[in-house]
Amino acid sequence: MRTLIVYAHPEPTSFAGAMRDAAVSTLEAAGHEVVVSDLYAEGFNPVAGRHDFTTVADPERFHYQTEQAHASAERGYTPELAREQRRVERAAVIILVFPLWWGGVPAILKGWFERVLAYGFAYEDSMRYDTGFFRGRSGLMGIVTGGTRERFSERGTYGAIEQVLWPTQHCMVEYLGLNTMEPFVAYAAPRVSMQQRREYLHQWRQRVLECLDGANTPGGEPPALKTARPATTWSSEE
Amino acid sequence: MRTLIVYAHPEPTSFAGAMRDAAVSTLEAAGHEVVVSDLYAEGFNPVAGRHDFTTVADPERFHYQTEQAHASAERGYTPELAREQRRVERAAVIILVFPLWWGGVPAILKGWFERVLAYGFAYEDSMRYDTGFFRGRSGLMGIVTGGTRERFSERGTYGAIEQVLWPTQHCMVEYLGLNTMEPFVAYAAPRVSMQQRREYLHQWRQRVLECLDGANTPGGEPPALKTARPATTWSSEE
């Protein structure tokens, strides 16, 4: 079974880096194939634009979803995006590992969603959540915070972690139709004891293994993504 | 009184572009000075990294907030970031105009927060929310969605708009200590009637004017930002 880890931290020796490494070794020890999209190391450009495409749907006015729908039908993505889309397509499990910055994913990972998980490739108007393209695949987030668990509680400074992560979990990961698990959060990882960090990594490895159960892939093959076709009925999301 | 509009849409003729223009003309007609950071047009790079700085705090291990604290103390930001920080510093009112993508701000705007509103410049560990650097200034978001108002309701597909926008409003805008208003949301702007769009723009202009009241700036000068100083007690937010 193949897993794609999308990893977004600029420093390899960060705790997020340790979580990436722990996920890779755990999955490989269990006999799985792992591919890592290391966004910083690969110099991923998170800015959406005409440079996403080799095709043009409307040369006068740039409407992003129109261009994405067109490129999905015409195989019009640039090599960088086409490579990421192939990685996504082949993965039965998708794991995101990142630090929580300003209450959300780093810009480089936000842009990965915007550009790679494009209209016509990863979703369409009536194809999301329960009818999403990624049903039968599994998704998990591994998150590092600077703030303590208490700060992410109902009466804490930032509000409950479920509240802070709502758009990330519900409007990004669940949107795709993935079988999702509760996000794993390593609270205040830079400030806690070495023993607590080891404990976090132990729990994280368990969670990664549990995540495999969410992928219904007899034979190890991920379910095929719905074949992209020219969009005729989609409506825009500006 | 000076207003900074941070605008993040790749297409000038988009509805977000119309909201930017409406805000500019409304403010100028009221005798205010307006500066627009047009992130796409200016080619803003949203990726955090060593390229943010002319200074280096730790050449071995890249810890973003350590480098930001150091650069804030040593005036070590690259010209692009120093220019944005000057714009922020001089503004009594900060208005963000953007389309809602994947439940949050576009990557290019997320990266503007990460890089420009740096540790030591825009916040420190004990300086946020009620004690934030930006007290006495005013903040407002103007948002365009593809989804209808119903989809952003309690029983809608995405959840209540307050829930979706929580990290954006609470963990980004309010975090700074700005006097904030309820975000203005132009629901389904690309799909509604021309009359409804005109109505949106009318309501938006009103909101922009109301926003000025939140800035306590006798004489029109924004309150000085706390002077950056070498950070000795900060702790990390990985």
Tens digit of each residue's pLDDT (9 = 90 or more) over A166-221: 999 999 999 999 999 999 999 999 999 999 999 999 999 999 999 988 777 666 67
pTM above 0.90, yes or no: yes
What chain A residue is nearest to B146 in terms of C-alpha separation? A237
Higher pLDDT, A238 or B25: B25
Query: What is the sign of the dihedral through the CA atoms of B127, B133, B135 and B138?
Result: negative
Strands B2-7 and A184-186: unpaired
CA-based nearest distance A112→chain B, Å = 9
As a whole number of angstroms, the distance between CA A130 and CA B155 comes to 15
CB contact under 8 A, A62 and B171: no
Q: Could you give the angle at the alpha carbon of B129 between the alpha carbons of B126 and B133, nearest 5°? A: 70
Provide the residue-wise pLDDT of chain B in tens; the chain has 238 residues.
Answer: 899 999 999 999 999 999 999 999 999 999 999 999 999 999 999 999 999 999 999 999 999 999 999 999 999 999 999 999 999 999 999 999 999 999 999 999 999 999 999 999 999 988 888 888 899 999 999 999 999 999 999 999 999 999 999 999 999 999 999 999 999 999 999 999 999 999 999 999 999 999 988 777 666 678 777 654 444 333 444 3
Residue B166 region by backbone torsions, left for phi larger than 0, else alpha for psi between -120 and 50, else beta: alpha
Q: Could you give the angle at the alpha carbon of A95 between the alpha carbons of A94 and A99, nearest 5°? A: 145
- Residue with the two structure tokens 């209450």: A103
Residue B129 region by backbone torsions, left for phi larger than 0, else alpha for psi between -120 and 50, else beta: left
> What type of residue is B69?
A
| Residue B205: its H or E element | helix B194-212
Tell me which residue in B111, B164, B171 faces A103 most closely, judged by beta carbons.
B171
DSSP state of B198: H
Spatial CB neighbours of B187, under 8 Å, sequence gap ≥ 6: B145, B147, B148, B149, B152
Query: A140 — phi, psi (to 5°)?
Result: -150, 140
The three-class DSSP label of residue B93 is: strand
pLDDT on residue A237: 43
pLDDT on residue A115: 98
CB contact under 8 A, B108 and A107: yes
As a whole number of angstroms, the distance between CA B134 and CA A30 comes to 51
Q: What is the mean pLDDT of residues A38-52?
A: 98
Tell me which residue in B10, B14, B158 faces A171 most closely, judged by beta carbons.
B158
CB contact under 8 A, A238 and B189: yes
Residues in chain B closer than 8 A to A111 (CB atoms): 46, 107-108
Tell me which residue in B15, B45, B103 faces A171 most closely, judged by beta carbons.
B103
